[in-house]
Amino acid sequence: MKARNLFLIIPWALFIAAALGWIFYWNYLASEAERRVHAWQFEQNASGATVEIGQVIRHGFPVFLRLELRDVRYVASRGGWRAETGRADLNIDPLKPQHAILEAKAPISITRANGAATNVRADALIASVRMDGDRLAEAGVEANNLVLDDPAEEGVLHAERVMASVRPDPRAASEYQFSFEAQTITLPRPVRSFEAFGLDVARMHAAIVVTQGALLMQSSPGDPLGPWRDGGGRLRFEGLELNWGPLQTTGTGEGGLDAQRRLDGRLVLPVDRPAPVLTAIANGPNIDRDARRALTLLAAGYVVTGNDITLDIGAHDGVLRVEGLPVRPLPPVY
């Protein structure tokens, strides 16, 4: 065979070999992804949950890999809640198979143990997971124009943009870093004790460290956060930014649950203009009369002085306090 013919044949042979190799790799990756979906389904069902997937359809060859999951239903083994959706897409980059992205392609219905339901829909709702071997490297959720609608309750919650992520905290083996940000939020109902703040929240951002985070994967019947709380689990707010009505602040704090599963903790919020904030709290319909009078006097004093304050909001022994003044009792979270 002439050398000139070899120069023509070898590139084509290499191209065909590479193409066949990629076809084999893509189908192997698709089969492995399907196997992992079914293995997760089997593990969940074996542990007491119920996972149903109507159909798994492959898409995306040759560049992408997308598994279309039809008629997905998940019933938790504990807590009594379930989630259902008509379709979700699992996207995997063939060059980075350790990074998986799950995108909701239909509204999600979440039903709690008491029968109350919340319908979740968004223009885009994406969850991602990135693994480092068998360990979680990072997980996150992003949503555009997120709407949460509880048909049995008045109003809907709408957020123009929501982002949340969690990853192991490199500073401590048992802790996780949780970040949450929401922009242009419309609340479904006034928040008790803060009714005068209104329903529109311009921005909320929180950087939280969750201690004893591994215990959140455990639960007991009727007490989903019990093992975490009993194991010393707390939330440490390393940064909390809130732009809501008269309140514009960036603060810190910590919190958790007491033995009766009520909120227990403290937020420290520097406020440049405290008078409108204290006045708004005092004007709430559920404020104790003595607390209303004291908050009104405090607000008047700050109007005169023009000073700023560090607002101390505490929750202890089942009572919410603002600047040490009892505002209202706190019921159990669940």
127 within domain boundaries: yes
Confidence of residue 12 (pLDDT cuts 50, 70, 90): low
Beta bridge partners of 200: 186
Asked whether the predicted pLDDT for residue 42 surpasses 60, the reply is yes
Distance CA(270)–CA(252), nearest Å, equals: 9
Domain with 30 in it:
1-143
**Kind and range of the H or E run holding 226:** helix 226-230
**Percent helix, strand and coil across the chain, each to the nearest 5:** 25, 50, 30
Q: What are phi and psi of 52, to 5 degrees?
A: -125, 130
Got the DSSP string for 31-59? HHHHHHHHHHHHHHHHTT-EEEEEEEEEE
Question: Residue 8's pLDDT is what?
Answer: 60
35 within domain boundaries: yes
Per the prediction, the chain carries an average pLDDT of 89
Of 256, 284, 270, the closest CA to residue 313 belongs to 270
87 within domain boundaries: yes
Distance CA(143)–CA(120), nearest Å, equals: 11
Q: Find out whether 207 and 238 touch, Cβ atoms under 8 Å.
A: yes
113 within domain boundaries: yes
Confidence of residue 5 (pLDDT cuts 50, 70, 90): low
77 within domain boundaries: yes
- Residue 14, SS3? helix
- Those residues whose C-beta lies under 8 Å from the C-beta of residue 154, and which sit 6 or more positions away, are 188, 189
Most confident of 202-206, 295-299, 309-313: 202-206
Q: Each residue of 157-170: pLDDT tens digit?
A: 999 999 999 999 99
- Those residues whose C-beta lies under 8 Å from the C-beta of residue 258, and which sit 6 or more positions away, are 264, 316, 317, 318
Q: How many domains does the chain have?
A: 1
Q: Each residue of 263-289: pLDDT tens digit?
A: 999 999 998 888 888 888 888 887 878
Question: Residue 168's pLDDT is what?
Answer: 95
Q: Each residue of 52-107: pLDDT tens digit?
A: 999 999 998 888 899 999 999 999 887 778 999 999 999 988 878 888 999 999 99
216 within domain boundaries: no
Distance CA(134)–CA(217), nearest Å, equals: 16
Q: Where are the alpha helices (H) located in 166-225, listed in sequence order? A: none
Question: Residue 232's pLDDT is what?
Answer: 93
Q: Find out whether 182 and 173 touch, Cβ atoms under 8 Å.
A: no
306 within domain boundaries: no
N-term to C-term CA, the chain: 81
Confidence of residue 127 (pLDDT cuts 50, 70, 90): very high
209 within domain boundaries: no
Q: What is the pTM of this model?
A: 0.79
Question: Residue 7's pLDDT is what?
Answer: 58
DSSP conformation class of 61: T
Instruction: Output 300 or 104, whichever has higher pLDDT.
Output: 104
Q: What are phi and psi of 158, to 5 degrees?
A: -130, 135
Asked whether the predicted pLDDT for residue 327 surpasses 80, the reply is yes
Tell me the mean pLDDT in the region 180-208. Answer: 93
